[in-house]
Amino acid sequence: MKKEMSEIKRRALLAKQRLKMGYWQRMQEERDRVSDSTSDRAVIESARCARRNEFERTNKMALGDDFTERDEKLYCRVRDMLDKDEDVMNPIGQLVEREIFDKLDDGNKQRYILELSAKFRELRERYYKEKSKYV
């Protein structure tokens, strides 16, 4: 029960910080800017989805979600790799954590590679969306 209360308090603190920092006003301004600049429904929905994903990521990071923390570390590695060279020859080979990979059996090695490649595609897409947002 005490742990639940502390999580509720953390969520309330996050909500209060978002209000103080003008998070929702910025979101409204960005939504208005996107809707004014285009009437394409797909673009508006894509922007909305990106904002939702960013919000969920920051919320999970603030709450101390271990999976999100690992994903952010992996994203930093992907971002650095793509910043150096966007045409990376062996991205999965560069992202594999050898000490973990060497301990796995053959079936788990395949699963690890497949999950890592799916995560790489997702993080690469996020990289290009963020890059185009700031350019």
Q: With helix as H, strand as E and coil as C, how does 20-77 read?
A: HHCHHHHHHHHHHHHHHHCCCHHHHHHHHHHHHHHHHHHHHHHHCCHHHHHHHHHHHH
When the pLDDT of each residue in the chain is averaged and rounded to a whole number, the result is: 78
Q: Report the half-sphere exposure of 91 (CA within 13 A, side-chain side).
A: 23
pLDDT in tens, 71-103: 888 888 898 888 887 777 888 888 888 888 888
Whether the pLDDT of residue 29 is over 70: the answer is: yes
Instruction: Identify the pLDDT of residue 14.
Output: 79
Of 59 and 11, the structure prediction assigns the larger pLDDT to 11
Domain boundaries, the chain: 1-64, 66-135
**The residue to which tokens 């690469």 are assigned:** 124
**The residue to which tokens 């999950």 are assigned:** 115
Residues 119, 74 contacting (CB under 8 angstroms)? yes
Of 1 and 20, the structure prediction assigns the larger pLDDT to 20
Instruction: Identify the pLDDT of residue 12.
Output: 82
pTM: 0.53
